[in-house]
Amino acid sequence: SRSPQKTPGSPRRSGAAARSCCRRGRECAMTTRTPAVPDDFPHLLAWYGRVPTFEHARVRAKDFHCRDHVFHMRQLVDARYYLHWHYSDADSYGPGAYFQAAEDWLRCRRIRGLDANDRPHALQEWFVDRYRAKGAAKPVWEFREPPAGIGKHEQL
């Protein structure tokens, strides 16, 4: 196979970045820019210390599913994952993990059965129950303001 041509003064790159840059015959820099927008991440507000709105569950009602929870239960049962967990985190695969995975799946199925307008509120309650300790103190630092969304999950 032919190796990609190297432009003078540039470090040698490998993989897709090298192929796409060399194909065009010009210098390219690696970048972290992405076409993703804040609306692409349902839990983005959680990264800023807030409870997500979960509006996507109302607007895209037919896309709501519980496959992630089924996959988590399969992970618990599958021995290939157990071998990795055995050394990484012994508390994550005990009997409590099996019960929590089943409860999460059942709760997801109950939420899926709700009307599309009721789902965002139910998902917010679930999020608070799961990730916020009862009576927890406020964080000691101030979170930055999240970036503005573009309205991707608004009803037209």
| Predicted pLDDT at 95 | 78
% of the chain surpassing 90 pLDDT? 17
| Predicted pLDDT at 90 | 63
- Tell me what the pLDDT averaged over the chain comes to: 75
Higher-confidence residue of 22 and 101: namely: 101
Would you state the structure tokens that stand for residue 81, as one six-digit string?
């994952």
- Kindly report, residue by residue over 23-61, the tens digit of the pLDDT: 555 666 767 777 777 777 777 888 787 888 888 888 888
What residues contact 8, with CB distance under 8 A and at least 6 apart? Answer: none
pTM for the whole structure: 0.63
Q: Which residue has the tokens 């807030």?
A: 50
| Predicted pLDDT at 123 | 93
Asked whether residue 2 carries a pLDDT value surpassing 60, the answer given is no
| Predicted pLDDT at 111 | 94
Distance CA 9, CA 6 (A): 8
| Cβ–Cβ under 8 Å, residues 2 and 21 | no
Asked whether residue 86 carries a pLDDT value surpassing 70, the answer given is no
Distance CA 99, CA 104 (A): 9
Q: Minimal CA–CA distance to 127: which of 61, 68, 52?
A: 52
| Predicted pLDDT at 146 | 78
